[in-house]
């Protein structure tokens, strides 16, 4: 609800309805929304849910309630009825009081820190056999933004990732480096460590495909050829040796993972994301194996002739799922079981954990949560999969093993360079220092990318378009940043701040000013809705709608040059609150607002 106004209106409707019809509705029956532009009014009450209790058709009940409200509340100036919708007009004094309250509240849009439960958000969770790419950018920006939004909504948030640092895919890079690397390192090549290791993951795939093709040419069917591949057999043998603690394999594993971690850290720093705690699959898979073996002993799981351990979920509408291979090596599900249980042990106050993982893994998480329940894990229901759609390219789907990905570092650099070129061409930053130009290019370039990936609801897949993301017109971060800078310039030139501005309760507000006020006052509830639905796009689009309204307002209304003192003060107050609201919202998306541009 709009801060102050809707809470007041909600209570008035409850009291007035009871006084008029002799019955008191439930809170959930009161639905208040912004009046549509084509109708007169500020707030609209949906009367359909109340008609039965009123004992009258919706339009009749709406008319009676509208008359009673205008008589009972001097801050409601009029009403009109459209079918079962009661459109209410509010007085300037009502709006002014709500705006004055907003000016006095710190950190607008944020609930008190720690006023809600503790929530863990997992994101990133990369494999250590390849660098981060465009898909990881959406994952990281989404997970980090959801964390920021949950914090703003009052939750105590723990940001974590599980690093997939073991498994057959890791061994593939290791085997390829042993056979083809000739001892090269990031230091000897000058190559970023995650990129070097990723190069050998691609090299493995090329060599493996060549071996399969040769096997097929020699009369094997494709599956037989894959199983007979010497490269794949070496990778499988290496995985067994690793799980047995072979010193040589473990030493190589630590060395190559170390190269990758240094590369990841540099990319995370450029992204502007961080974590409170790191979990490693090489640790948690052991706990997972322990619980799988206990589940087998308890009859929850079953074992096949080859020694592999499975869970039968056919009665639950799913299928059988492998939990441990016949050779004793673990699968992804093994470590995910261990990780889930370990996290709740590490954080006893944890209310729930949110997994930020692409929609390709929806089935995996259904199985995981069901397995936890079958194991009798108390927090089995306290897990949520934040599923998101893939980021696609015009050429089609990205494939890491084939090297057809948009590298995260390269894309971030491209966005910075594009932003720098645009600002240099416009000539607006000629008096900036070089450090300031670099900072602005980072704020604009990275902000454009983050906003482009976050303004779309997580569940939707999207086509990546870097050119449209950095446009200074339309629903983009640069457009929002430019107009926030305009707000800051007005306030800086007048010396006005939210703490120094006063608000005359009698100041008349026109339709455009009320529209701005509604956008400002509605922000705290958008934050709560975004937190409840794990959807940063609600914040992104609210910020855009508000700043677009301000841009139009700026063109049509004098602010600093307004001659009437009370009107000037009111418009400066609205400008200050627009700037604060949008800046706070964009910060929840991980996007910085420049001071100048």
Could you state, in chain order, the average pLDDT of each consecutive group of 10 residues for the chain (597 residues)? 77 97 96 92 96 96 97 96 96 90 88 94 92 93 98 98 91 96 96 96 95 95 94 95 95 96 96 96 94 97 97 96 92 94 96 96 97 95 96 60 72 94 88 95 96 96 85 93 97 87 82 93 94 98 97 96 92 95 98 95
CA distance 550 to 543: 11
Beta pairing class for 43-46 and 32-34: antiparallel
For the chain, give every domain's residue range.
Answer: 5-90, 123-402, 408-588
Sheet holding 277-280, edge to edge: 277-280, 156-163, 118-122, 350-358, 383-388
CA distance 414 to 473: 20
- CATH assignment, 5-90: 3.30.1360.70
pLDDT at 101: 85
pLDDT at 3: 60
Q: What are phi and psi of 277, to 5 degrees?
A: -155, 140
pLDDT at 497: 82
Question: Which tokens go with 24?
Answer: 């008191």
pLDDT at 68: 98
514: left (phi over 0), alpha (psi -120 to 50) or beta: alpha
Q: Which fold has domain 123-402?
A: Rossmann fold (3.40.50)
Check: CATH 3.30.465.10 for 408-588?
A: no
């Amino acid at each position: 609800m709009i801060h102050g106004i809707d809470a007041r209106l909600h209570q008035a409707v409850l009291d007035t309805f009871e006084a008029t019809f002799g019955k008191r509705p439930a809170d959930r029956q009161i639905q208040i929304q912004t009046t549509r532009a084509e109708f007169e009014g500020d707030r609209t009450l949906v009367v359909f849910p109340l008609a039965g209790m009123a004992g009258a058709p919706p339009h009749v009940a709406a008319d009676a309630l509208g008359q009673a409200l205008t008589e009972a509340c001097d801050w409601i100036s009029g009403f009109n009825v459209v079918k079962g919708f009661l459109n209410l007009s509010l007085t300037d004094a009502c709006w002014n009081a709500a705006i004055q309250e907003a000016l006095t509240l710190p950190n607008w849009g944020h609930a008190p820190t720690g006023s809600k439960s503790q929530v863990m958000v997992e994101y990133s969770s990369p494999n250590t056999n390849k660098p981060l790419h465009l898909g990881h950018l959406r994952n990281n920006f989404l997970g980090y933004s959801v964390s920021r939004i949950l914090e703003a909504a009052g939750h105590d948030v723990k940001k974590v990732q599980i690093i997939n640092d073991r498994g057959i895919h890791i061994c593939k890079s290791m085997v390829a480096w042993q056979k083809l690397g000739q001892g090269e390192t990031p230091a000897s090549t000058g190559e970023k460590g995650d990129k070097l290791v990723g190069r050998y993951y691609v090299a493995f795939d090329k060599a493996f495909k060549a071996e399969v093709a040769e096997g097929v040419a020699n009369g094997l069917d494709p599956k037989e050829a894959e199983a007979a591949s010497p490269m794949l057999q070496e990778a499988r043998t290496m995985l067994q040796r690793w799980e047995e603690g072979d010193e040589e394999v473990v030493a190589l594993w630590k060395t190559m993972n170390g190269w990758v971690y240094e590369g990841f850290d540099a990319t995370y720093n450029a992204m502007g994301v961080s974590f409170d705690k790191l979990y490693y699959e090489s640790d948690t898979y052991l706990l997972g194996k322990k619980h799988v073996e206990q589940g087998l002993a308890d009859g929850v799981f079953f074992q096949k002739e080859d020694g592999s351990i499975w869970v039968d979920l056919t009665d639950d509408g799913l299928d059988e799922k492998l939990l441990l291979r016949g050779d004793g090596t673990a699968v992804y599900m093994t470590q995910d079981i261990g990780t889930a249980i370990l996290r709740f042990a590490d954080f006893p106050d944890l209310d729930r954990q949110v997994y930020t993982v692409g929609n390709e893994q929806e089935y995996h998480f259904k199985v995981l949560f069901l397995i936890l329940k079958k194991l009798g894990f108390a927090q089995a229901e306290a897990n949520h999969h934040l599923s998101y759609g893939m980021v696609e390219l015009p050429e089609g789907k990205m494939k890491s093993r084939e090297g057809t990905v948009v590298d995260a570092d390269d894309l971030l650099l491209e966005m910075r360079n594009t932003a720098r070129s645009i600002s240099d061409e416009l000539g607006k930053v000629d008096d900036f220092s070089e450090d300031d130009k670099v900072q602005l290019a980072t704020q604009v370039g990275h902000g454009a990318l983050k906003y482009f990936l976050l303004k779309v609801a997580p569940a939707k897949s999207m086509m990546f378009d870097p050119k449209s993301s950095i446009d200074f017109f339309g629903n983009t971060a640069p457009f929002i940043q430019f107009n926030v800078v305009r707000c800051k310039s007005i306030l800086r030139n007048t010396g006005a701040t939210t703490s120094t501005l006063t608000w005359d309760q009698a100041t008349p507000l026109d339709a455009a000013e009320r529209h701005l006020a509604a956008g400002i006052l509605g922000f705290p509830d958008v934050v709560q809705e975004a937190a409840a639905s794990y959807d940063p796009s609600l914040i992104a689009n609210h910020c855009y709608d508000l700043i677009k309204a301000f841009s139009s307002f700026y063109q049509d209304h004098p602010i600093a040059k307004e001659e009437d003192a009370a009107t000037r003060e009111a418009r400066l107050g609205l400008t200050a609150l627009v700037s604060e609201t949008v800046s706070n919202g964009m910060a929840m998306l991980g996007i910085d607002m420049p001071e100048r541009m």
